[in-house]
Amino acid sequence: MVELDLENALWSIPAPKMKMKQAFFVPLSRQAIQIIKDIQPLTGSGEYVFPSYRTHERCMSNNAVNVALLIMGFEKEFIVGHGFRAMARTMLHEVLKFQPDVIEAQLAHAVPDRLGSAYNRCTHIDDRTIMMQTWADYLDKIKAVGKVIEFKQAA
């Protein structure tokens, strides 16, 4: 199964690869698609966008990002790879003003509600698509000015 559909800007992750064993869909921003295209000459046309350093038969390990951060001089007490999810979650809500249920859906978190999760099958895919593009645009702006900035979402 091909997971990345660049034409439709969607990453489809099959259920067996997900912690909750449910298929998951990730909207891809224009920037994410460009990065995937740009990295292909470096990683080849194998199964993985980020293959293992040791073998292209497996994806990069969970710890590879943590090792890269250490090599760049960031101590694990300061930041670890998983910390970027928490940072994004906070900034998406606090700075970019996205609703927590949309953010949690993007993070593949099961969010309990007063009716019970058995009745909540919302994926918020349209809102998540807007959110992921807004997030990518925001990161581009941060990169351009070199600091966290106030950001107004396009109407």
Place of tokens 């091909």: 2
User: Each residue of 31-85: pLDDT tens digit?
Assistant: 999 999 999 898 877 888 888 888 888 889 889 999 999 999 999 888 899 899 9
- What would the mean pLDDT of 146-153 be, rounded to a whole number? 67
pLDDT in the model for residue 154: 54
The whole-chain average pLDDT of the chain stands at 86
- What would the mean pLDDT of 88-107 be, rounded to a whole number? 94
Q: Where are the domains of the chain?
A: 4-145
* Nearest C-alpha neighbor of 27 from the set 154, 137, 133: 133
Residue with more model confidence, 106 or 121: 106
pLDDT in the model for residue 137: 96
pTM of the shown model: 0.83
Among positive and negative, which fits the CA dihedral 153, 126, 65, 38? negative
33: left (phi over 0), alpha (psi -120 to 50) or beta: alpha
11 three-state secondary structure:
strand
Residue 117: pLDDT band by 50, 70, 90 thresholds? low
